[in-house]
Chain A
């Protein structure tokens, strides 16, 4: 440090004014910068344009999707109304009766240990069930209309094919069902050789199975 101070101090002193070199004239702006700047400005403008076009398109897309959503909601409302109407116990029962089904009458139980039938043991009678109208002046549900709706839908590839055979003539359906039942009956081998014990109303303890 002291050596440096000494060397400055020892340098010969010059008069106060000194001519300096003329500063060089400013170079003209380079073309590339101009182009880059302009391109930048245009890029920003174009970007903004694209953005607003995209936004505008988005608005139309939203509009379109909202319309589709409304349509699907309408589908939903139509279908849920149909399902609701088909779940109506009155409609279901009417359809079941039209297919030849009957209520199973008094319940009965089979005790496994001694093949004792508890309860009534009486079979249900064919045609013993009917559905009545509960509102004065109102007809019982139009079965054929409901059935044909289901049939149409199954024809369109939806499930519930079992109803597809229903026609306007419900007697046809009933007879078809009976044929099937007879078929099932003959297919089951009858193994009881001695007469089954008569049904008892109260048969003692329940259940007492000896099973393996």
Chain B
């Protein structure tokens, strides 16, 4: 073989092996390609989509609680929980300077107020953990400052919180939100309207967490909650609460409640309870203050109920305002017990009007001998006692009345002046609304309705007004009650010059463990202006210490009535009333 032939053969061999290698590589690539593109195509593309896909929460807002002028009593506020990954907590460099863990925590303390020691305990409890709370409920402003700290191991979680701009003013009615949901009041009762349904957004993101175009999809839409509109006038509510607090404190009372009702609509304009609480900060508030006592607490109403007894007697034609009596100072009950009056003026030569005006227990009992317990009970029920009001407040009480068929021989007498039966303040306000509205009872309203996000307004059903006594009877009672601030138990104590006021006082003995104590519940229920009542006001104080007579509630009642006529521009009364005589 010539050298040329040898060289040629070597070239051929080299060419062959290179071709073989190329072929093998190509085959390998083809196999791999087919494997990826055909055999495992579905599996791999699913895995890839999964890696890029993520979801985020579409936050929906809980509805607000609004007053009658659409001022927010409860709204939403963003709060942030500050969290950390203890596993990664370490010194770090910021702007070329090393920041120690303690310095970083001190910076957080300066903003949130959470002590360094507490935060350090949280992160050092389990150093291998990936999650710990440093501080909770930071405000948006604090959140911004915390972000600027640029601490690499600190994270945030949004915490949709509730904010009550008017604080304690309407806390008794709004209730509040706890960590896991609504706890009291309208927040809980109307949760169905207020509740928001968060949505889900799914999308694919790139390596730098930017959403890939065309991949966002709302999997579940977010639905904001509706707004609950109350009938409350928050300015009036505040004023009423102020008067309760200032009179209550001067009386050394344990608690107090007051309610203002618009006569023509039955709408509750104010319902305040003192002491109350701030729904923004209620952690240390005693349980008994966390509620609307006007609805949820029952009491023996005492003499304010005499107006209802008297209305029943007048309606049944069993007496008339000018009927004269020689009222004894005591009335013997079976078992050697006696009914007495609070003062000497409540006995003697009194008319029916005088019996009511001077709040005579003995006179009322003597008059009530003329009416059968079952008829009286029917009137009590018609005026709204014995069942919750139409407001249907969370935990609202019915009060208690004995069955007229089995009523005992003492309660049959005492219930005519409001002892031996119990009622809520809301029931009493509702009963006086019926008297003030010329005998026609309009069910009380606290919530006007639910303003849904789609613009519809679900109005709370208005029950039909019920006539409980004739217009004549109601007018007679109002005139009789007008004698109370002029000549009766509120003389010199309730006086708004230029306005005619009808009111009734009540002092009830408080029973504890089945025995009447010398503690009292004092109250005043009334209406203004008497010639054409527009507003009903009921005020009550529990266990006053410095003065236990019912007129002690007068300063608060007087202030509230004065404020009402100014606030709602009530035209002054022009004529002196013609009132029935109270004595003879």
Residues of B within 8 A of A133 (CB): 245
Q: Give the shortest distance, in Å, between B246 (CB) and chain A (any CB).
A: 5
Is there an interface contact between A119 and B274, defined as CB atoms closer than 8 Å?
Answer: no
Is there an interface contact between B498 and A120, defined as CB atoms closer than 8 Å?
Answer: yes
- Among the 9-residue stretches B209-217, B368-376, B547-555, the one with 4 or more Cβ atoms under 8 Å from chain A is B209-217
Contact indicator per residue, chain A 70-103, by CB within 8 Å of chain B (1) or not (0) = 0000100110110111011110010000000000
Count residues of chain A with CB under 8 A from any CB of chain B: 45
Q: Which residue of A lies closest to B78 (CB)?
A: A77
Q: A107-B562, A107-B565, A109-B572 are in contact. Are A88 and B165 (CB under 8 A)?
A: yes
- Is A135 an interface position by the 8 A CB rule? yes
Residues of A within 8 A of B72 (CB): 84
Q: Give the shortest distance, in Å, between A30 (CB) and chain B (any CB).
A: 37
Residues of B within 8 A of A47 (CB): none
The distance in angstroms between the C-alpha atoms of A56 and B562, with both chains bound, is: 68
- Is B169 an interface position by the 8 A CB rule? yes
Is there an interface contact between A87 and B165, defined as CB atoms closer than 8 Å?
Answer: yes
- Among the 9-residue stretches A2-10, A32-40, A146-154, A199-207, the one with 4 or more Cβ atoms under 8 Å from chain B is A199-207
Is there an interface contact between B242 and A134, defined as CB atoms closer than 8 Å?
Answer: yes
Is there an interface contact between B211 and A59, defined as CB atoms closer than 8 Å?
Answer: yes
The distance in angstroms between the C-alpha atoms of A105 and B562, with both chains bound, is: 8
The distance in angstroms between the C-alpha atoms of A33 and B38, with both chains bound, is: 38
Contact indicator per residue, chain B 129-170, by CB within 8 Å of chain A (1) or not (0) = 000000000011101100000000000000000010111110
- Is B277 an interface position by the 8 A CB rule? yes
Q: Which residue of B lies closest to A135 (CB)?
A: B168
Residues of A within 8 A of B571 (CB): 206
Question: Given B75, B76, B139, B497, which contacts A201 in the complex, CB threshold below 8 Å?
Answer: B497
Question: Given A74, A87, A202, which contacts B576 in the complex, CB threshold below 8 Å?
Answer: A202
Within 8 A of A (CB), among B482-498: 496-498
Question: Given A81, A107, A109, A132, which contacts B245 in the complex, CB threshold below 8 Å?
Answer: A132
Count residues of chain B with CB under 8 A from any CB of chain A: 54
Question: Given B144, B239, B277, B285, which contacts A74 in the complex, CB threshold below 8 Å?
Answer: B144
- Is A131 an interface position by the 8 A CB rule? yes
The distance in angstroms between the C-alpha atoms of A109 and B499, with both chains bound, is: 12
Is there an interface contact between B274 and A134, defined as CB atoms closer than 8 Å?
Answer: yes
- Is A138 an interface position by the 8 A CB rule? yes
- Is A42 an interface position by the 8 A CB rule? no
Q: Which residue of A lies closest to B569 (CB)?
A: A107
Residues of A within 8 A of B91 (CB): none
Q: A60-B210, A134-B274, A135-B276 are in contact. Are A93 and B238 (CB under 8 A)?
A: yes
Residues of chain B at the chain A interface (Cβ within 8 Å): 71-72, 75-78, 139-141, 143-144, 163, 165-169, 206, 210-214, 234-235, 237-239, 241-242, 244-246, 249, 274-278, 285, 289, 496-499, 562, 565-566, 571-576
Q: Can you list 11 pairs linking A and B with CB atoms under 8 Å apart?
A: A59-B213, A85-B165, A90-B169, A107-B498, A109-B498, A109-B572, A132-B246, A135-B168, A135-B277, A202-B575, A204-B574
Known pairs A74-B78, A135-B277; list 6 more (Cβ under 8 Å).
A83-B165, A107-B566, A120-B498, A134-B241, A201-B498, A202-B576
Closest 3 CB pairs of A and B: A84-B165, A119-B498, A89-B238
